Amino acid sequence: MSAYPNAAVATATAVTTDSEAADPCCAAPLPVLGRDVTVPLVTGGEVTYAALDYAASAPALQRVWDDVAAYAPYYGSVHRGAGYLSQLSTDLFENSRVTVAEFLDCRPGDQVVFTRSTTDSLNLLAAVLPAGCEVFVFETEHHASLLPWQGARVTYLNAPRTPAQAVETLERALADRDPSPSSRLRSSRGYPTRPALVCVTGASNVTGELWPVKELAAAAHAHGARIVLDAAQLAPHHPVSVKELDVDWVAFSGHKLYAPFGSGVLAGRADWLQDAEPYLAGGGASKKVARRADGGVDVEWHTTAARHEAGSPNVIGVYSIASACKALTEAGFDQLVAREQHLIDTVRAGLAEVPEVKVLSLFGDDAPRVGVISFVVEGWNSSHFAAALSAEYGIGVRDGLFCAHPLVRTLLGSDPQTQGECGAPEAAPGEKSLNAIRVSFGAGTPDEHVERFVRAVKELVRNGAQWKYRTEDGRCVPDRG
């Protein structure tokens, strides 16, 4: 509860006016910034921008922007400040922690640590791993969850082709763990006592497919391992319950949850976090600092989340996450999921009508998924196709390997030799055509955007691009020469 209940930092209420309701660009459950932005077309004229790159960064909710604007005049230093604005900002910051814990349905005793992003959250967890901890991660992960474990003993698991195969692959890998090399002792279940961690995504940032998180968590725990869920692509689209999924930690980013300003979350069990040295050493993480007689310094670190939040925190970023959590909860995930499924069905049905289009998938057409779909088009370099969608139709998508290089290489094949008209920005030499197109959307996407996208795909495949394109600084761009 705020120490200043009468302060004018109230939660803003998103109000849809009659004019907005009549505007197809606003026909979405949650209005977002940029919904009325127009962009020029290379062929002439302007069009309302169709932002279909939510998987990279979702647009800010209008509700979030309004909440931040209401708070901004009251911005002050967090923690230890005696002034009114400092006390108010501290209350706001700590209440945001409570809001996030409720949004994630955390257990009593779980800690919510604020970070910069999902990447930062998982690097924090990697930094606090107990000595000798083994990490198990599928090659299908985003680089944010694939790469932070380099300092540990890591087992990379091959891409599964069904959810059941994912569970079986993990169970085999965990069962094959060597016993502790020092003691050779085993737990009462017969499994090694050496700590282990499984890292898995909740929804793929390439295919959008949902992973069997609850089953993977059960497999991990049965073999004496813990599990961290990369919920960057899951949390904006589906409810995430730490209790129900029985995961040990959850990581996600504000910028994918309709909350800009560069904050993230690591939430879960406190013991590994409390036992490790602070992720960053500095003010805020330290509880007591004193000089020793020998000239050194003794430090007593906090045991709360502050232990890993050294420095001045990103108060506005944290508050924007809390605001987004409230907005999504109040809108109701049942409604949001149902409406997003309608958009998914529209896109998939439209792409299925184009024989030249191949949609990428690990688990097959019937697998449940969020609003993230990647594909390639026969006869087109994906960078060229994405550039044409933008320049000629005002549609923003993403092309490349999506910071999930091993997965995309698995889905496409790793050795193409065709150069292609425009090179992929992330492609290695000899892999200029090894890239895909990703369309992604969510609670702020109106029907018109996905309908325009489907029409544009069909027209480009049928008629070709209306403009010439060239590669400039690694990007495919319209040739204006």
Query: Looking at the annotation, which residues are catalytic?
Result: 403
Residues 6+ apart with CB under 8 A from 334: none
The sign of the CA dihedral 400, 403, 408, 410 is: positive
Q: Name the one residue in this structure whose structure tokens are 């960064």.
A: 57
Q: Which residue bears the tokens 């996407």? A: 445
Distance CA 110, CA 480 (A): 56
Contact 26, 446 (CB under 8 A): yes
CA-wise closest residue to 106 among 288, 305, 310: 305
d(C-alpha 41, C-alpha 46), whole Å = 6
> First CA to last CA across the chain, in angstroms?
61
How many CB atoms within 10 Å of residue 29? 18
Cα dihedral sign, 183-189-193-194: positive
Q: Which of 369, 266, 259, 371 is nearest to 325 (CA)?
A: 259
Distance CA 98, CA 111 (A): 10
Q: Which residue has the tokens 């505007």?
A: 23
* Paired residues of 46 in beta bridges: 40
Q: Which of 159, 137, 250 is nearest to 209 (CA)?
A: 159
Give the integer Cα–Cα distance in Å for 443 and 341: 11
* Cα separation, 273 vs 260, whole angstroms: 26
Query: CA-CA distance, 476 to 479, in Å (whole number)?
Result: 9
Q: How far apart are CA 128 and CA 279, in angstroms?
A: 8
| Lookup result for tokens 């604020």 | 114
The four Cα atoms 97, 98, 102, 107 give a dihedral, to 10 degrees, of: 90
Q: Can you tell me which residue has the tokens 């910034």?
A: 33
Q: Which two tokens stand for residue 177?
A: 């763990």
Answer whether 233's CB lies under 8 Å from 256's CB. Answer: yes
Rounded Cα distance between 393 and 456, Å, is 7
Structure tokens at 247: 């995961």
**Residue 360 near residue 412 (C-beta atoms within 8 A):** yes
